[in-house]
A = this chain, B = another copy of it.
């Protein structure tokens, strides 16, 4: 919270716009020069590869050396720490699991900010608390660097095919510089507003997604128990006001649609633990901004419960199975 306050306070300052004007001109000459990449996990790895495919020399680092091997064989330079990467590259992309990792990679003892160059562009594609994004932006700004949040929607498949959607928050005059790099990894790059709004957009979409999915699962389950045929019910909902992405594109009931996780025992797709994590972020931002989110907070609790019942690694549409089992086993 404190970070949030400090963040908003500093970002209001005038000075930095001035500084940034300078930065832009510097980097504008720097295209196709080395780009740093921190975090080579399931998502980061294919993203970095797409950067290289587009001709950008990549300097990478990851806490797990083995995850760097593949990229190294493709010609990327691997360094020991984020600080070392920051020492060599003035454009850096980070893709990390959660807020504490981001705080450590940026502000830790071997963090990016230890050796960041004036005018550097730092793009974080992790999904984290917008308050932390603002905190990082403030810390970077103090060193004359620019931080932008650019979380993605779309999973490993979209990362591999370069079809991710990026929701970008930060200084508008830096958006084009960020877009130049993000376009190599995604099909859509949307500017959302000041720092943190990229995260906000991501969090909001996933909260509504979770509500729609659980709602669809409840509704389909109720309809089936009342004697309706699942396919017929889905058809009626989708031509009526109950229609939502979870009912017409990603239906959670086995047998209703082809090519979705529910047709494949909820394998693949978007894991329940990841949804629970995003709902936790939504919950925190709602509490911190005193925003009532009754359904969002109940959805959070439900995915939290599913994590423990063997659903952690199943697609989040398995909430249908979770609710369904109830009734099957229930006396």
Report A's interface with B, CB cutoff 8 A.
1-2, 5, 99-100, 103-104, 129-130, 132, 153, 165, 167, 188, 190, 192-194, 196-197, 200-201, 203-209, 211-212, 214-216, 218-223, 225-229, 232-233, 236-237, 239-247, 249-250, 273, 276, 280, 282-302, 304-305, 307-310, 312, 323, 325-331
Q: In the complex, what residues of B have CB within 8 A of residue A309's CB? A: 309, 326, 329
Complex contact A219–B204 (CB within 8 A) = yes
Q: In the complex, what residues of B have CB within 8 A of residue A297's CB? A: 283, 297-298, 300-301
Q: In the complex, what residues of B have CB within 8 A of residue A295's CB? A: 211, 214-215, 218, 295, 298-299
Q: Interface residues of A: mostly helix, strand, loop or mixed?
A: helix
Complex contact B294–A307 (CB within 8 A) = no
Per a CB cutoff under 8 Å, which of B132, B200, B228, B289 touches A201? B228
Complex contact B242–A243 (CB within 8 A) = no
Q: Which among A192, A232, A295 has the greatest number of chain B C-beta atoms within 10 A? A: A295
Q: In the complex, what residues of B have CB within 8 A of residue A249's CB? A: 241
Task: Determine how many copies of this chain the complex contains.
Answer: 4
Complex contact A218–B292 (CB within 8 A) = yes
Complex contact B167–A5 (CB within 8 A) = no
Complex contact A226–B292 (CB within 8 A) = no
Can you name 10 A-B pairs with beta carbons within 8 Å? Answer: A196-B226, A200-B222, A201-B233, A208-B219, A208-B247, A211-B211, A219-B293, A276-B290, A283-B297, A305-B323
Closest partner residue, chain B, to A289 (CB atom): B225
Per a CB cutoff under 8 Å, which of B273, B282, B328 touches A308? B328
Q: In the bound complex, what is the Cα–Cα distance between A264 and B204 (angstroms)?
A: 25
Complex contact A228–B200 (CB within 8 A) = yes
Complex contact A1–B304 (CB within 8 A) = no
